[in-house]
Amino acid sequence: MMINAYVISDIHLGPGKRNGSDSWDPLEDFTADDQLCAFIDHLAQQHQPVELIIAGDFLEYCQILPRIGFASPADHLGSSEAESLERTAVLLGRHSSGGQGHPRVFAALRRLMSAGHSITLIAGNHDVDILWDAVWAQLFEAIYPPGASGTLQRVPFFYTVGTGERGRVYIEHGHEHDRANRIGDQMAFPFDFDSFGVKRLKRCWGTLFVDKVYNELEEQRWFIDNVKPSLRALQLGIRHDFPFTASAMGLLARFLLTSGLPPMLGGSDAVLGASNSPPPPAEEFVSALTDVELRAYLDKQLDDPVFRAEFEASVQGMTVAEWQAVQSGTAEQSSLDELADLPSDDLVLGGSGSAEDAYIRAARVIIERDERIGSVIFGHTHTPIAGHIIEIDAAHSGRYYNSGTWTPHLREAQRNYSWDEIADERNYIAEFTYLELVPDTDGAYEVALQRWQG
């Protein structure tokens, strides 16, 4: 039976409030538990079965117990199963010191299932941890009431609803189309082993940057993680001479230098490799950068011998093959502008949906590949999109949607904000957007962008 479905994404449930306190953890991006629980309870009251699809980044593992990510033994590897389980305990409100988590949200999801409805969780780059079997078992136990008539399932990469020859809906988180945040292989192989034989999650550059840099910066500047794309916030900070750490700039410079390399040399389609090779001299490393603003910023900072030493230490993971490719010019280097996928004078929430950005191009490929697909839904960018038309040919078209986010973001997507303005809470809003999928009698779905007002 075709049923109504609802898609949300990018909720980013994190550590919650501090234990024994009514104040939020500084790394918590989501504070709208009341609104989310009310939305879930509203769905639970529907007389006919519905499906809630959470399209990635429901959970913000990277910012729970940040010591875990910081202590990982290799750049390209994240948490072990045991460490992800400890973080999950925080989310569920079962950890004595890591934070109060969001147990009310999980209780609301359990009520939704008790009422006969279904839930599907798609993995995102911030909650790839749900692919651990033990983690999923813990979440399943918290959400699924024994004997419930609905289904609770996890999906590693993509999910399709609809049965018609036209008008089906394809859903994924979207991070695999983001050079800085892709895991690779459509999430088919999310694990690897460290040098001690411990199985760990693979870690994309974006997660590495959160683990090693963003968590520390957010302690100082609460807004740094609320501006999307994240690299745009970094660029604005560089322009305004915010004192980023040497390790942050080393990670950023190394990523820009190697992001265009083929996977065999450690480029952006592969995990970040490790190496014992000595780092190149700081001046040589910086002079290889084509990003003019970043190069000028680093030239100025390198006058400080402490910054220089820390910067050189932070880039020592670059392999000999990578450095040779950079020196020979065979590495196609990226700038912050290119990676943010925006014009250089814009600081916005995400792609506007009006041009062929990486996500619209990916949606086009999906629609071209399967004529049964009428709509493609991504999350990840935090930008709600109400149906960008994608023309394939005279007889074939589709639409691209984005479910947006429930975390606060800048009010005006196309306005240029100053560094001081993005630090002003009055310039932020949480819109609580979701996508409603309504079936017809032919096995197709109509999709509409909605905003929760309850």
What contacts 396, CB < 8 A, 6 or more positions away? 367, 371
- Dump pLDDT digits (tens) for 269-311: 444 444 445 657 888 889 888 888 889 999 999 999 999 988 8
User: Which CATH homologous superfamily contains domain 4-181+358-451?
Assistant: Metallo-dependent phosphatases (3.60.21.10)
At residue 330, the pLDDT reads 62
Taken in order 334, 338, 340, 343, the sign of the CA dihedral is positive
Nearest CA to 419 among 200, 190, 221, 188?
221
Look at the chain and count its residues: 454
Take residue 141 and report the two structure tokens written for it. Answer: 């136990």
Whole-number Å distance between alpha carbons of 277 and 131: 33
Residue 305, number of CB atoms within 10 A of its CB:
8
Q: How confident is the model at residue 18 (pLDDT cuts 50, 70, 90)?
A: very high
Evaluate if residue 354 carries a pLDDT over 60.
Answer: no
The CATH 3.60.21.10 portion of the chain extends over 4-181+358-451
Evaluate if residue 349 carries a pLDDT over 70.
Answer: no
At residue 92, the pLDDT reads 98
Mean pLDDT calculated for residue range 5-19: 97
Evaluate if residue 260 carries a pLDDT over 70.
Answer: no
Distances (CA, A) of 349 to 380, 411, 416: 11, 9, 10
Whole-number Å distance between alpha carbons of 38 and 157: 28
Q: How far apart are the first and last CA of the chain?
A: 28
Return the higher-pLDDT residue of 103 and 226: 103
